[in-house]
Amino acid sequence: MAPIQVKVKRIDDKFSDIPLPFYSTEGSSGMDVRAAVDSEIVIKKSAIELIPTNLIVEIPLGYEIQVRPRSGLAVKNGIGVLNSPGTIDSDYRGEVKIILFNFGKEDFVIKRGDRIAQLVLSKFCKADMIEENQLNSTERGSGGFGHTGHK
Protein backbone atom coordinates (compact mmCIF):
# COMPACT_ATOMS: atom_id res chain seq x y z
CA MET A 1 0.00 0.00 0.00
CA ALA A 2 1.48 3.32 -1.07
CA PRO A 3 1.48 6.02 1.60
CA ILE A 4 -0.51 9.24 1.16
CA GLN A 5 1.70 12.31 0.82
CA VAL A 6 1.22 14.93 3.56
CA LYS A 7 3.33 18.04 3.21
CA VAL A 8 4.79 19.43 6.44
CA LYS A 9 6.58 22.68 7.15
CA ARG A 10 8.65 23.63 10.17
CA ILE A 11 7.80 27.10 11.49
CA ASP A 12 11.17 27.83 13.11
CA ASP A 13 14.50 26.23 12.17
CA LYS A 14 15.67 26.34 15.80
CA PHE A 15 13.62 23.15 16.28
CA SER A 16 15.12 21.33 13.27
CA ASP A 17 16.72 18.80 15.66
CA ILE A 18 13.25 17.50 16.57
CA PRO A 19 12.21 14.66 14.22
CA LEU A 20 9.13 15.02 12.05
CA PRO A 21 6.26 12.68 12.99
CA PHE A 22 6.94 9.12 11.85
CA TYR A 23 5.65 5.58 12.33
CA SER A 24 7.69 3.70 14.95
CA THR A 25 6.87 0.25 13.55
CA GLU A 26 5.54 -1.28 10.33
CA GLY A 27 2.15 -1.89 11.97
CA SER A 28 1.76 1.51 13.64
CA SER A 29 -1.34 3.48 12.69
CA GLY A 30 -0.22 6.62 14.51
CA MET A 31 2.87 8.76 14.09
CA ASP A 32 4.45 10.13 17.26
CA VAL A 33 4.53 13.93 17.36
CA ARG A 34 6.97 15.77 19.62
CA ALA A 35 6.99 18.89 21.78
CA ALA A 36 8.77 21.88 20.25
CA VAL A 37 9.55 23.89 23.38
CA ASP A 38 12.59 25.92 24.41
CA SER A 39 12.14 25.24 28.10
CA GLU A 40 10.23 22.72 30.17
CA ILE A 41 6.47 23.05 30.51
CA VAL A 42 4.97 21.79 33.75
CA ILE A 43 1.44 20.45 33.48
CA LYS A 44 0.04 20.77 36.98
CA LYS A 45 -2.28 17.99 38.16
CA SER A 46 -5.83 18.61 36.84
CA ALA A 47 -4.49 21.31 34.48
CA ILE A 48 -4.49 21.86 30.72
CA GLU A 49 -1.53 22.99 28.60
CA LEU A 50 -1.33 23.73 24.89
CA ILE A 51 1.92 22.22 23.60
CA PRO A 52 3.44 23.51 20.34
CA THR A 53 4.91 21.18 17.70
CA ASN A 54 6.48 23.78 15.36
CA LEU A 55 4.66 22.09 12.46
CA ILE A 56 2.16 23.16 9.83
CA VAL A 57 0.64 20.41 7.69
CA GLU A 58 -1.03 20.32 4.28
CA ILE A 59 -3.50 17.45 4.47
CA PRO A 60 -5.04 16.22 1.20
CA LEU A 61 -8.73 17.00 0.64
CA GLY A 62 -10.90 14.13 1.88
CA TYR A 63 -8.55 13.38 4.80
CA GLU A 64 -8.08 14.59 8.35
CA ILE A 65 -5.40 14.02 10.93
CA GLN A 66 -6.72 12.76 14.25
CA VAL A 67 -4.74 13.67 17.37
CA ARG A 68 -4.76 10.86 19.90
CA PRO A 69 -3.10 10.28 23.27
CA ARG A 70 -0.04 8.07 23.67
CA SER A 71 -0.92 5.00 25.71
CA GLY A 72 2.39 5.05 27.63
CA LEU A 73 1.87 8.63 28.82
CA ALA A 74 -1.71 7.81 29.78
CA VAL A 75 -1.05 4.65 31.80
CA LYS A 76 2.22 5.75 33.43
CA ASN A 77 1.51 9.43 34.07
CA GLY A 78 -2.21 10.10 33.53
CA ILE A 79 -1.50 12.43 30.57
CA GLY A 80 -4.14 12.55 27.85
CA VAL A 81 -5.28 14.59 24.88
CA LEU A 82 -8.22 16.59 26.20
CA ASN A 83 -10.34 16.65 23.05
CA SER A 84 -9.42 13.13 22.02
CA PRO A 85 -9.47 12.48 19.22
CA GLY A 86 -8.76 15.99 18.10
CA THR A 87 -9.17 16.81 14.42
CA ILE A 88 -6.87 18.73 12.10
CA ASP A 89 -8.87 19.63 9.00
CA SER A 90 -7.40 19.67 5.50
CA ASP A 91 -7.88 23.43 5.15
CA TYR A 92 -6.17 24.35 8.45
CA ARG A 93 -2.76 25.99 7.97
CA GLY A 94 -1.87 27.04 11.51
CA GLU A 95 0.58 25.40 13.86
CA VAL A 96 -0.37 21.96 15.11
CA LYS A 97 -0.68 22.26 18.88
CA ILE A 98 -1.63 19.48 21.26
CA ILE A 99 -4.09 20.05 24.12
CA LEU A 100 -2.76 17.93 26.98
CA PHE A 101 -4.55 17.33 30.26
CA ASN A 102 -2.98 15.95 33.43
CA PHE A 103 -5.43 13.43 34.87
CA GLY A 104 -2.64 12.20 37.18
CA LYS A 105 -1.95 12.86 40.84
CA GLU A 106 1.37 14.67 40.30
CA ASP A 107 2.64 17.50 38.12
CA PHE A 108 4.15 16.33 34.83
CA VAL A 109 7.06 17.92 32.94
CA ILE A 110 7.18 18.19 29.13
CA LYS A 111 10.68 18.67 27.70
CA ARG A 112 11.96 19.58 24.26
CA GLY A 113 11.46 16.67 21.86
CA ASP A 114 9.23 14.59 24.16
CA ARG A 115 6.69 12.42 22.32
CA ILE A 116 3.37 13.94 23.37
CA ALA A 117 0.66 12.48 21.10
CA GLN A 118 -0.04 10.39 18.02
CA LEU A 119 -1.22 11.66 14.65
CA VAL A 120 -3.45 9.35 12.59
CA LEU A 121 -4.26 10.18 8.96
CA SER A 122 -7.88 9.21 8.27
CA LYS A 123 -10.05 9.32 5.16
CA PHE A 124 -13.58 10.55 5.71
CA CYS A 125 -16.88 10.97 3.85
CA LYS A 126 -19.10 14.03 3.89
CA ALA A 127 -22.77 13.60 4.76
CA ASP A 128 -25.86 15.51 3.71
CA MET A 129 -28.22 15.79 6.67
CA ILE A 130 -31.79 15.31 5.41
CA GLU A 131 -34.62 16.22 7.74
CA GLU A 132 -37.39 13.61 7.85
CA ASN A 133 -40.55 13.22 9.94
CA GLN A 134 -40.23 9.41 10.11
CA LEU A 135 -37.13 7.23 10.58
CA ASN A 136 -36.73 3.45 10.35
CA SER A 137 -37.08 1.69 13.69
CA THR A 138 -34.49 -0.72 15.14
CA GLU A 139 -34.50 -3.40 17.81
CA ARG A 140 -32.45 -1.13 20.08
CA GLY A 141 -34.71 1.87 19.56
CA SER A 142 -33.87 4.80 21.84
CA GLY A 143 -31.95 2.71 24.40
CA GLY A 144 -28.89 4.75 25.31
CA PHE A 145 -25.83 4.57 27.53
CA GLY A 146 -25.25 1.02 28.77
CA HIS A 147 -28.41 -0.25 27.11
CA THR A 148 -27.02 -2.65 24.49
CA GLY A 149 -26.82 -6.24 25.59
CA HIS A 150 -29.48 -5.78 28.30
CA LYS A 151 -33.06 -6.97 27.80
Averaged pLDDT score across all residues of the chain: 94
Reported as a single tens digit per residue, the pLDDT across 44-71 is 999 999 999 999 999 999 999 999 999 9
Q: Kindly report the pTM of this predicted structure.
A: 0.88
Long-range contacts of 70-75 (CB under 8 A, 24+ apart): 70/32, 70/115, 70/116, 70/117, 70/118, 73/115, 73/116, 74/103
Q: Confirm if 16 and 10 have CB atoms less than 8 A apart.
A: yes
The CATH number given to 7-123 is 2.70.40.10
Look at 24-33, 96-105, 123-132, 140-149 and tell me which has the smallest mean pLDDT: 140-149
Query: What's the half-sphere exposure (Cβ side, CA atoms, 13 Å) at 125?
Result: 3
Q: What percent of the chain has pLDDT over 90?
A: 89
Domain ranges, ordered by start, for the chain: 7-123
